[in-house]
Amino acid sequence: MPSGLRATLAAIVLAAVVAMLWNDKLVSGDRFELANVDAWGYLYPAYETTYARVANGVLPLWNPYQLCGVPWLGALQTGVLYPPHALYLVLPTYEAMSTLVLVHLLIAALATFAVTRRAGIGLAGAVLAGVLFASRGRLPFLSVVPNMFEAASWLPLGFLAVLQLADGALRRGIATLAVATGMSLLAGYPQYTMFLLYAWASLLPFMLAGQRAAARGWLTAGLGFGAGIVLGMALAAAQMLPTHELTSDAVRQTGALTIQQMYPIAGPWIRNNVLKVFRDLSLGGHPLSFGIVGLSLLAAVPFVPFARVPAMVRALAGWALLLGAFTIGFALGPGTGVFEMALRLPGFAWFRVPDRILTLTDFCFAIGAAASMTALLDGRGRLAPVIGLVALVLGWLASHQQLSEAWLVASGIATLVGLATIPGRWIRSGVAAGVVGLAIYAISTVPPRGLAMPYTAEAIAVYDRQRSIYTELASRLGADRFWLIPPSPPPYETMFKQATRFRVRTIDDYEPFALRRQAEYLTYFYRGQTTPSRANETFAGSWLDLEPAPRRPPAKTRRRLLDLAAVRFVVAAPGLRQRADTGDFLGGADLGVPLRLGSVLAYPNPHALPRAFVTYRTAPAPEVTELLARLSDPAFDPLAQSYVEGTLPHPDAPDAPARGEPARIVRDEESSVEIDASLAADGLLVLADTYFGGWQATVDGAPAPILPTNHLFRGVRVAAGRHRVRFEYRPWRVTAGLTVSGLALIALAVLAIPRRRRA
């Protein structure tokens, strides 16, 4: 059989195995844990609402329904411009979400197959590497958080690009690397893209050294690598430029976190489960397990550089050993030395949860196992004693974990590698097929993940259980807002993003890229200070309790901050009145008699201010803590005086009325608001929506500057008389990003055109 046909059949077998394991292990489940809360509480409803707009020809730029308004495209996590997400336009969201898991598993598996084949690893080893990487360990487990998973899935394609560059295929290598970089960035989880970039960069010198490349080869490959990364970033510019604008004024900026912030659950030592993973879960019986087959082969990796295998395989094995050790050291956290060294590299200190790097460990593991298998078969079985002995020891260890398949797999490996010492092509082929079969069998015996996912129409019905609540709220609120006191943990039917789904405005909502002003405003309301109470906390759009910071008064004393944000209803489940912090607020915030709306109570707020109003007197805003203290005062009246940041453009009119009046919102869309205002004297029109760059204002068609007002909101100076004021969100970075991405696509197309060979 021709070698090309054999490779095609092997790739088909690999794809079939991955599809089978996807269907068996990842599709169904009924458990709810912290691991799948993002899929239900953020990503599914965000995908549904985002792509409903895209399907109608609207690029979602601004979301007015949460946190008094947040950038939509810039928030990154929904991957609005990520090409595979076009599937959301043709399938129901739940079907597309499930199908995209399979699509990315196949991308990861087949790209791993291509990498190992190009490096000189045999067909069986290449299939084994693809199975091990795509069907066990952290990559498939990451599918519960789709944007993480999709960003990480492009890891093997970048390695293929590195091998192409090392082989001198410059144009192809640059194009492949650009696609891998751009797609990972567009998927919406930059921490994984950062890990990928370092991993790709670390492989290139190993490959060049293994090939004994000349100085010119090193220079050409290095320049090609840089060009591929830059082109990939340019491809993603349409997304990354708006995201950069957001992060420049957001809670999660591009800068070093503290150690406590890097471990948000319970610190770097108490809940760091890396040692537990390696101690208890490595052999089998768990979705994160390495498995006996892979671990047996991994034991022989240190000997691969000395075996009679292609130079590229030896270099690949050495790279896998070193990078695998580095990633484990970093994942173990403070005290390893590797962790402190890594924090000196750009990017490593910017993100939380360092053990996410173990996805790279898994790839090194898969590559190392495949390299060992090649050395076993092509080295005439010289590594057989090592692999066989390790397999038996692992089988004995696994038997203590009551894994029924342990001895079967271990004894099968020992027998097969023993046969590898016998000369003969057919025997070695049988050994290869047997080892791959044992690996597939061992993975198939691992119990399904069991986590519930929004993959069926029946599962997502939970989102519509409270439709009547939001419909009623929308009819009562009009252009104003409500505040849902979040239960802990919140039920999915009333949790985050529901306000966006039903187009009802709320003052808070889960959003990791919340703006600094929003974080300060709401943290002060909840806690009585502008910073979190604990060192490991980071504001993510909401707090799950009303406990004030030590020695701070309770939240009920700061209800005025809700009034300023036009919060007309405070919504809470009836049982929350029994919780001390919530009961204290509801009993002391001077709210009205609650209305029963389905399963919740809606407390009218008689003190809520209009969302748009006119004031005739302004004052310079003091330092933020002092400003928020003044805004929180129950006696503060923004219609009498509002605080403006920066130089006041005009003095207040001395004969103006003592108090302003509401203005009328005549057009209220997601990216534009129009207001009719009648002023008795020159004054300030205030709109209680988030102040953020990219918004432009006109007064009767003439441009007017927007002023940060009362810390979180927008103000525009307006002359006496009746005027039409229009706010429109037109961020220049979106236009610039689309232009750069378009040019990058043209460059990529040019690179993809085959060069004509000289006669």
pLDDT digits (tens, 9 = 90+) for 506-521: 999 988 889 999 999 9
If you write DSSP's letter for every residue of 699-747 in order, what string do you get?
Answer: ETTEEE--EEETTTEEEEEE-SEEEEEEEEE--HHHHHHHHHHHHHHHH
Would the pLDDT of 494 be above 60? no
The whole-number average pLDDT for the span 532-547 is 85
Residue 322 amino acid letter? L
Would the pLDDT of 492 be above 60? no
- Do the Cβ atoms of 630 and 636 come closer than 8 Å? yes
> For residue 1, what are its two tokens?
């059989």
> What count of other Cβ atoms lies within 10 Å of the Cβ of residue 279?
9
pLDDT digits (tens, 9 = 90+) for 316-325: 999 999 999 9
Would the pLDDT of 136 be above 90? no
> What are the residues facing 668 on neighbouring strands?
673
Which helix (H) or strand (E) is 668 found in, with range? strand 664-668
- Tell me the pLDDT of the chain averaged across its residues: 89
Higher confidence at residue 463 or residue 89? 89
Higher confidence at residue 237 or residue 270? 237
pLDDT digits (tens, 9 = 90+) for 731-758: 999 999 999 999 999 999 999 887 765 4
Higher confidence at residue 406 or residue 674? 674
CA distance 476 to 481: 10
* pLDDT for res 758: 44
Angle at 72 between CA 67 and CA 77, to 5 degrees: 100
Q: 335 falls in which pLDDT band (50, 70, 90)?
A: confident
CA distance 527 to 624: 15
Would the pLDDT of 493 be above 70? no
Q: 489 falls in which pLDDT band (50, 70, 90)?
A: low
Would the pLDDT of 488 be above 80? no
CA distance 108 to 114: 10
Query: CATH number of the domain at 612-732, out of 3.40.50, 1.20.1250, 1.10.287, 2.60.40?
Result: 2.60.40
CA distance 497 to 44: 9
Radius of gyration of the chain from its Cα atoms, rounded to whole angstroms: 29
CA distance 248 to 253: 6
Nearest Cα to Cα of residue 136 among 319, 316, 361: 361
Q: 537 falls in which pLDDT band (50, 70, 90)?
A: confident
> For residue 209, what are its two tokens?
């050294």
Largest CA distance in the chain: 104
What's the N-to-C CA distance of the chain in angstroms? 33
If you write DSSP's letter for every residue of 99-158 in order, what string do you get?
Answer: HHHHHHHHHHHHHHHHHHHHTT--HHHHHHHHHHHHHSSHHHHGGGSHHHHHHHTTHHHH
Q: 416 falls in which pLDDT band (50, 70, 90)?
A: confident
Cα–Cα distance list, 503 to 54, 235, 304, 305, 497 (Å): 16, 32, 60, 61, 10
- For residue 354, say if its preceding peptide bond is cis, omega within 30 degrees of 0: no
Q: At what angle do helices 3-25 and 425-444 cross, to 10 degrees?
A: 20
- Do the Cβ atoms of 708 and 646 come closer than 8 Å? yes
The whole-number average pLDDT for the span 101-130 is 95
DSSP label of 301:
G
Give the start-to-end residue ranges of the domains of the chain: 3-31+76-451, 465-558+567-604, 612-732
